[in-house]
Amino acid sequence: MSDRRIGLIGLGLMGNPMGHNLLKAGYELTVYNRTQSKTAELAAAGARVAGSPADCARDVDVVISCVSDSPDVEAIALGSAGIIEALRSGMLYIDMSTIAPAVSRRIYDRFKLLGCSALDAPVSGGDIGAKAGTLSIMVGGDGEAFDRALPILQVLGKNIVHIGDAGAGQVTKACNQIVVALTVQAVAEALTLAKKSGVDPGKVREALLGGFGQSRVMEVHGAKMLEGNFAPGFKLDLFRKDMNLVLQTARELGLPLMGSHQVVPLMDALIAGGGGDRDFISVLALYEKLAHLE
């Protein structure tokens, strides 16, 4: 197989720019999205529009999916009119969604029985990384399948790591979400403490960027917090779903994750207040409200 024909399922905040990057790299692209209007932009750029996941997989060598949650991926991969109905021996499936590791392993096993490879390859980097083709990609699955997928993944990301067997990519993404969630909370608390103390939070951030308090979250999200720019690079509704996967996986392992359990109620409070479409960095506004700094 030449692997020049790719099917892409899921054209949201991440999938749409990923599709544009694949087209720019010269791949023949077929796309499917449950809400068909979201296919228009890529269709205008030269992609073929499919009528179902099975149709999207029928005449391609590689299928990529990037959708919201475990049930969506299972339906796309294994359900009625799903990818499995159009599989041919030797095809490659790359799921770039964030889902439960157990679901990734189940799809891997089903596809392997049919002579096809499956990789779980969740990403980090938000819509900025998707547009720039600089996503961090964490991959689980067979080494041979990873080597085959690498040229495609290099169009979409820069930091691409083969973690281990099927499901390992999803475990890594869960670890990533723990670090991001708790760091966002820490940055919001630090900036609120500075402001409540009458100290310029912008200068506090500048100072912390030169020491052990430095992080990508402090650098990028800290700047957006100070601007009051809570537009989503990644919607809070989806982040909350990811944290549910973290806690679900921890429960299966009998592992107490106190920090993760503590940050989730902050997310729930923001969502209950109508902030599910904003970024989690909007937690700064919640802290400022509690501190009577509004």
Nearest by Cα to 60 from 96, 32, 40, 20: 32
Per the CB < 8 A criterion, the answer to whether 87 and 110 are in contact is: no
- Which of 173, 203, 224, 235 is the catalytic position? 173
DSSP string, the chain: ----EEEEE--STTHHHHHHHHHHTT-EEEEE-SSGGGGHHHHHTTPEEPSSHHHHHHT-SEEEE--SSHHHHHHHHHSTTSGGGG--TT-EEEE-S---HHHHHHHHHHHHHTT-EEEE--EESHHHHHHHT-EEEEEES-HHHHHHHHHHHHHHEEEEEEEESTTHHHHHHHHHHHHHHHHHHHHHHHHHHHHHTT--HHHHHHHHTTSTT--HIIIIIHHHHHHT----SS-HHHHHHHHHHHHHHHHHHT---HHHHHHHHHHHHHHHTT-TTS-GGGHHHHHHHHTT--
Q: What angle do CA 100, 158, 225 make, to 5 degrees?
A: 75
| Residue 241 annotated in active site | no
Q: How far apart are CA 260 and CA 59, in angstroms?
A: 43
Amino acid at 46: G
What is the sign, positive or negative, of the torsion defined by CA atoms of 159, 160, 164, 167?
A: positive
Task: Name the residues annotated as catalytic.
Answer: 173
